[in-house]
Structure 1
């Protein structure tokens, strides 16, 4: 798929190439293509790194079959004189004969890896040929055991002139476990919120958010200092939804404008002043309600901020309740049940419900969550069944047919 956004004021175009690929069937280690709808919803100029100052072209390759075809598309994108942003989601393997890294494609199997996967050195060669400083590569990859040894041994470089961000993780363990491109999904969520932080901050936020939602997996991070294991997480929507010229995100490297309340609210929450943070966010929501009306994106923004503040305050029941409300508002705005933002709200509500230690409160919130989960099943298989099973256990425990759960 090719998307072009044109700005005639600047002839230097930018290009974004989105490559998401993984083998079909049992060889799949990551659901790479699941990130494409979220990235496709980001404005083309943001993906291409031109931020409205120049034309922007987005090229999307979803589970391509032939490495030569992929190379041709990469070569064409690399030949463009403007900035190039390459987004890679997929899995890495090592061929048996030459012991070289390859990015698996849709028809890749171990016995035909050399002919059905994209050799990493092909990609590196195209990137190294570009003018230094014009290329950015964002990785969200998993590596099997042999590939992981090469990755951690430093055999993943794309040249000194290429900026690299993102993560490579060891392949998930256990039978039939398939990873998701958590870093790229977090990046897309931040951009779709209206935030435009500088690239290092963007990827730092995405790394922490991914670690918070999916846990630590020993991933190797690029362009990010670290993803702390248990530090407080950034708010899911760290900057306000633009509502006019005065609400535009700050320029890269600039301090947030004094009118932006988000940094102070987040600082208060991280300092443990949860009541003050919640009150400030609630006041912002009230102001948005008066200015933009119920159901507006501005009101929805602050509702979701309050939901995440409740999580940071370790009040999972309140967080669950607010996330359910956010999901209902989004559905009321005619967003579909498979919209990533709707699914995300329901998934967060479900996750927070599972953290509730007060069995009575969990039972109280469960019926509404079950109704919502039936409407928005999400992408995790069996989520509704798991929810109903735990609810049954809560009722059985209340009736005295199950022993009380041990204290953690």
Structure 2
């Protein structure tokens, strides 16, 4: 520890972790010697600094204890993380793999990403910086493409997430190594500029670049063909924002409550399974444009209002930058959960935003899951089954379930949807029967689905 009088002391936690053996995708530990050669004050941006190293830790509880202790410090905190991300098959949660992690033991030997988020969200906004150099396996990479990778409001997040490498290939933590090399050269550019320089050196082809500044600033996108995440300042609640649930098939973002209320009462609700009622083909303002080809990243350039992130999220989603849109939404949801708590109308609002973003990203299964969760959350708040918002969430969940091509995944999601439809049958008869008819044609490990 470097000490001095009348100085602000910062803390840097260097975490490098990857599974031992054939499950290793990145030589994470090789980032530590390069970072350790940098002065502690450079790592933290403070005159006095404490540096903690964790090299290939074995137990997630050990890592959590160190992170919790570092997060409890009053001064600036900087985390540098090198490793690989995997997806828990049961709960579909992203984990950072540790030394003993295997595909079958991930839930018990990996560090859940939301643990890290939970510890850092307790810190004062603007005092925490996280820099990551990660590689994702195939399943985690697919989910990151829809939901992004976030740490919550008030935390600066910079980094690079690489897609899964070819089989039996172990990549180097080139992004963090570039940080160290730039610092050792004597240069100390601002963090946003350092991120761009390191990303360029490490290579951006196919990678997900994270550039999330602390409020209230917007981050400058890296205009080099890679996907980049940016954000605005948080909104104080979602119920009064510019996005309100409307009937399936109509645009979700940009609809005010007044606009929704102006819809003629005689308009027919969607038919079971999401098909429009005869003679009521909805306007298709919500079709998703094809994602831009590699190398054609188009950052959001519109001036964004400080109190409403929805235009930025929608612009990113419609431009095919689904990871960017999902990450911004996840950060706003995290702050909303902190301010209002789970089950609040504000939290449900952001759950519905993420559900519709999954639809725009053409991930029908994830959209179905989220819309089902939103409907269940509204019912838990004692909103009646005939409430317009409850019915809209249930109809959307049903519609997205009908769009799932993976029959096994549709079968897994069916029980929750059936239970929901029994509570919320909707305004048109036959919704539950429509699900049962499709289930008759879905194969299972024991033949047909007969439990419904």
TM-score range, shorter chain: 0.5 to 0.7
Q: TM-score, normalised by structure 1?
A: 0.52
Map of 2:180 onto structure 1: 188
Indicate which of 138, 141, 144 corresponds to 1:145.
138
Shift in Å, 1:168: 0.7
Shift in Å, 1:155: 4.3
Q: Distance in 2 between matches of 1:157 and 1:229?
A: 21
Secondary structure of the residue that 1:18 maps to in structure 2?
Answer: strand
Map of 1:171 onto structure 2: 164
Q: Distance in 2 between matches of 1:228 and 1:119?
A: 31
1:150–1:156: 8 Å Cα contact kept in structure 2?
Answer: no
Q: TM-score, normalised by structure 2?
A: 0.47
Shift in Å, 1:229: 6.4
Instruction: Report 1:6-405 matches (<5 A).
Output: 6-10=3-7, 12-50=8-46, 52=47, 55-173=48-166, 175-211=167-203, 216-223=204-211, 225-226=221-222, 228=224
Secondary structure of the residue that 1:153 maps to in structure 2?
Answer: helix
Root-mean-square deviation (CA, aligned residues, Å) is: 1.5
Q: Distance in 1 between matches of 2:73 and 2:117?
A: 16
Shift in Å, 1:217: 3.5
Give the length in aligned residue pairs: 218
Q: What do residues 68-95 of structure 1 show as CA deviations (whole Å, max 9, x unaligned)?
A: 0000000000000100000110000011
Q: Distance in 2 between matches of 1:229 and 1:190?
A: 22
Q: Which runs of 5+ in 2 are unaligned?
A: 212-219, 227-452
2:205–2:225: 8 Å Cα contact kept in structure 1?
Answer: no
1:204–1:227: 8 Å Cα contact kept in structure 2?
Answer: no
Shift in Å, 1:150: 2.0
Shift in Å, 1:22: 0.1
2:38–2:183: 8 Å Cα contact kept in structure 1?
Answer: yes
| Higher helix content, 1 or 2 | 1
Deviating above 3 A after TM superposition, structure 1's stretches of 4 or more consecutive aligned residues are: none
Q: What do residues 183-218 of structure 1 show as CA deviations (whole Å, max 9, x unaligned)?
A: 10001000011101111111111111112xxxx441
Shift in Å, 1:222: 1.2
Shift in Å, 1:225: 2.0
Q: What do residues 157-198 of structure 1 show as CA deviations (whole Å, max 9, x unaligned)?
A: 10110011111111112x310111111000100001110111
Q: Distance in 2 between matches of 1:172 and 1:110?
A: 17
Shift in Å, 1:49: 1.9
1:17–1:58: 8 Å Cα contact kept in structure 2?
Answer: yes
Q: Which runs of 5+ in 1 are unaligned?
A: 231-408
